[in-house]
């Protein structure tokens, strides 16, 4: 018998906070100055999701650390101007919290930047656990960050759901043995995410209220 979902593991960028334009503009600026004309907006979409280390080492391994530093500096400058909220996210997260669901963020972004984003969304205390890139050795799709979150929440894989907008969220969830949910508002499109065969596809964040109702009855 399938256990009720009591634990929610969320990706952050593109799932809870719309940072897509921020990421695209930061990459466009950094890469455009180094490699004029080499990367289109379509190319840059592929860089949304993986860690900066994974992306820049694939582009220019000799200068990856310098590119990461440049990216982070510009991203911080542009951040608050370019991010936007998705419909219903803060309200739904508050409802889930009030129902007693255990919740964590599992991201390939650094923890301090995630915490800053949560503050902008006015939900600084919603999450029991926030796992950033700087807290693990191996980012998603490796199961390490998901397993760390589950350990800290005192949850087991069979009661957890990983929610994200990208392939590595779904693959990371499968590698950790948890159920997975894609989000239809992914910038890469619902069809792209569906190809990774998540257990669920959320059309709106509030779909989670129905998915977790068994855990709170």
Strands 179-183 and 200-202: parallel
Nearest to 83 by CA among 166, 16, 11, 21: 21
> Among the options 11, 13, 18, 169, which is catalytic?
11
Q: Is 11 labeled as catalytic in the residue annotation?
A: yes
Measure CA of the first residue to CA of the last residue in the chain; give whole Å. Answer: 17
Q: Where are the alpha helices (DSSP H) in the chain?
A: 20-34, 41-45, 52-59, 64-82, 89-98, 111-120, 144-153, 167-176, 190-194, 207-211, 213-216
Which residues are part of the catalytic machinery? 11
């Amino acid at each position: 018998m399938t256990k009720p979902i009591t634990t929610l593991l969320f990706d952050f960028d593109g799932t809870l906070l719309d940072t897509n334009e921020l990421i695209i503009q930061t990459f466009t600026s950094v890469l455009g100055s180094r490699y004029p004309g080499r990367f289109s907006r379509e190319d840059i979409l592929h860089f949304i999701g993986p860690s900066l280390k994974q992306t820049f080492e694939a582009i220019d391994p000799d200068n990856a650390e310098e590119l990461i530093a440049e990216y982070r500096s510009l991203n911080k400058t542009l951040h608050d101007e370019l991010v936007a909220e998705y419909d219903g996210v803060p309200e739904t997260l508050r409802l889930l919290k009030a129902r007693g669901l255990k919740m964590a963020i599992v991201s390939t972004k650094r923890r301090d930047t995630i915490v800053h984003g949560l503050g902008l969304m006015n939900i600084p205390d919603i999450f029991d656990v926030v796992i950033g890139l700087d807290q693990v050795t191996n980012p998603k799709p490796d199961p390490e960050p998901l397993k760390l979150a589950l350990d800290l929440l005192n949850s087991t894989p069979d009661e957890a759901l990983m929610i994200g907008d990208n392939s590595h969220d779904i693959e990371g969830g499968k590698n950790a043995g948890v159920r997975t949910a894609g989000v239809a508002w992914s910038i890469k499109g619902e069809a792209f995410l569906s190809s990774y065969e998540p257990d669920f596809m959320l059309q709106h964040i509030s779909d989670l209220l129905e998915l977790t109702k068994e855990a709170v009855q």
